[in-house]
Amino acid sequence: MLKKIPVEHLRLGMHLQASCGDWLEHPFWRTRFVLKDAQDLVLIRESSIREVWIDINKGIDVEADSSRSEENFETIEEIPPPPPVVQPKAAFADEVKRASRIVAKGREAVVSMFQEARMGKAIEAEAAAPLVEEISNSMLRNPGALVSIARLKTADDYTYLHSVAVCALMIALARQLGLDEQQTREAGMAGLLHDLGKVMMPSAVLNKPGKLTDAEFAVVKTHPEEGHKLLLAGNGASEIARDVCLHHHEKFDGSGYPAGLSGEAISLYARMGAVCDVYDAITSNRPYKAGWDPAESIRRMAEWKGHFDPAIFQAFVKSLGIYPVGSLVRLESGKLGVVVEQNGQSLLKPRLKVFFSTRSQSYLKPEIIDLARSAEKIAGREDAEKWGIKDVDRYWAAETV
């Protein structure tokens, strides 16, 4: 039996089932647990959350003293799913602010899940459902914002934010492929959990700043199977999530691992996971190399014949754009700009922030240009190092993050 109570009536020993209100305002990423720490009570009461649901079958009930005997608390057997809310489209600069908060809380969730797995605790996949929902809604409002923020990770954050980024990329790709919303969320959850097996890898190998030896690489290649075992031993992970965890390193030509599957013997979701996993990996800074430019990454991935399902890869490019947010491009006028937002009508006409002239080899006052409304055209991708430009990301992120 579930009972909705004001936070003032919470006490240790109660089983918190859900908090009412905006998930980003919740003090914990996970809601279903027994309150055992007095500090948790303080955190809830100091937050903006005013009411919560408790499960009186799994924890203690509200005290039945005389001062509360007249209090009528709402009771139900199960919390109904929230009605679908149409997510209004948002400008990149607006959505990226909320996306930054989602990514930060997503990191907290993944760190917690990984730590619990290291300690031998069973994974409870359904606890991450609100996070996947938040990511899904953000991608509806503006698909480029969260993906771009999640790409800005340090070497220390890589494993955790990689999971958040792949979740977002899987959701965008699922929608591009026409999957329904339930399938889309399944894909997102699979993306979030796909690298869980990394928790079983030695940190010295996982974070090694140089090339792995053959023996070390053999160890790392066991992470899909280790993750699959953890999901099988846990609760709430779907068959789709387990499959993507086990097979996201399979290649379309059969040269991948762990099973050497090829073509459609690899599930649709695992083929999706292969593309999303690689894209985020190569565009992110790693202990042993700097991330590649997003547009350059798309170009290189297109050249890896046999690696990806061609139809899935084409849909992936459409979901991100030929020039994803953060790509450095050169205009026919000789100006350089970084892509700040996609144009839904044309992959070749994104919005740019122009800031450099290759003709005068000097910086310009940053200016936003919408190529859909300009005579300017993209001449091609450009290499920042060629012009001595450092930290290209600050040109699209500086005013929003």
CATH number, domain of 118, equals: 1.10.3210.10
* Cβ-contact 287, 209 below 8 angstroms: yes
Claim to verify: residue 223 and residue 303 sit in the same structural domain: yes
Q: Answer yes or no: is 85 within a domain.
A: no
* Residue-level pLDDT at 66: 41
Here the tokens at position 352 are 């740019």
Same domain, 57 and 191: no
In a shared domain, residues 295 and 168? yes
Kindly state whether residue 355 falls inside one of the protein's structural domains.
yes
Q: How far apart are CA 217 and CA 206, in angstroms?
A: 9
Same-domain pairing of 230 and 337: no
Q: How far apart are the first and last CA of the chain?
A: 43
- Same-domain pairing of 263 and 143: yes
- DSSP type of residue 292: P
What span, in angstroms and rounded, lies between the C-alpha atoms of 244 and 253? 17
Q: Mean pLDDT in runs of 10 for the chain (401 residues)?
A: 93 93 88 92 93 94 62 82 82 90 94 93 91 95 90 83 96 97 97 96 87 94 97 95 98 98 98 98 82 93 97 96 93 95 86 95 94 94 91 72 40
Q: Strand order in 346-357's β-sheet?
A: 362-370, 346-357, 335-343, 328-331, 378-381
Indicate if 236 and 312 belong to the same structural domain: yes
Amino acid at 347: L
Instruction: Count how many domains the chain has.
Output: 3
Question: Are residues 270 and 188 both part of a single domain?
Answer: yes
| 313 and 337 belong to one structural domain | no
17/77 Cα distance (integer angstroms): 12
Residues 234 and 109 in one domain: yes
In-domain check, residue 185? yes
Q: For residue 214, is it left (φ>0), alpha (ψ between -120 and 50) or beta?
A: alpha
Is residue 381 included in any domain, yes or no? yes
pLDDT of amino acid 288: 72
Is the residue at 86 inside a domain? no
Q: What are the residue ranges of helices labelled H in 236-284?
A: 239-247, 268-283
Q: Does 87 reside within a domain?
A: no
Question: 281, 300, 320 — which closes off a domain?
Answer: 320
CA gap 16, 134 in Å, rounded: 20
Where do we find the tokens 């894209």? Answer: 279
CB 194 within 8 A of CB 244: yes
Tell the burial category of 356 from Cβ atoms under 10 Å away from its Cβ (0-12, 13-18, 19+): buried
- Contacts for 389 with CB less than 8 Å, ≥ 6 apart: 328, 336, 356
Asked which of 320, 348, 381 is the last residue of a domain, the reply is 320
Range(s) of the domain holding residue 380 = 328-397
Which tokens sit at 99?
Answer: 């996306």
* Rounded Cα distance, 102 and 252, in Å: 33
Does 276 share its domain with 145?
yes
188 shares a domain with 167: yes
Half-sphere exposure of 307 (CA within 13 A, CB side): 15
Residue 344 forms part of a structural domain: yes
Query: What pLDDT does residue 134 have?
Result: 95
Domain contains 81: no
End position of a domain, from candidates 276, 303, 320: 320
Asked if 351 and 341 count as a contact pair (C-beta separation under 8 A), the reply is yes
Residues 101 and 227 in one domain: yes
